[in-house]
Structure 1
Amino acid sequence: MKALIGALAILVVLGSAAADARTSKPSSGEHSAKRAECLKQAKLQRFNRRFAARNRFMRECMARS
């Protein structure tokens, strides 16, 4: 009986976590548009061979809303 209750509890927790993950994920179209805008801004910054700085800029740009 305890094993059944434990299994049900685990299923409930995993189900709610999966539902949260699905609702917070942006659509691929929105992501692509945001990435294109960030790439355009990165090109204006002229990072050239400074890949670390460019990657940091892209992460920060994608995090902005």
Structure 2
Amino acid sequence: MNITEKQQKKAAKEFAEYWKDKGYEKGQSQKFWIDLLQNVYGVENATGTSQGTSGKRFRRDGCLRL
């Protein structure tokens, strides 16, 4: 999914507002990272191997594969 810089900035602001003062950090870390990768960086399937907006690939363990 390709997003413009303007869309990404808007998504980042919405993301920050949504996650501001959220409670239990460890209990929500997976949701946090999936939300960040999918909605701010445009990774289509952050829970598996997928291609992000930069053409780089993310592995299931969260490592960036070039």
Measured against the shorter chain, the TM-score band is 0.3 to 0.5
If each structure's helix is expressed as a fraction of its own residues, which one has the higher value? 1
Q: Which has the higher strand share?
A: 2
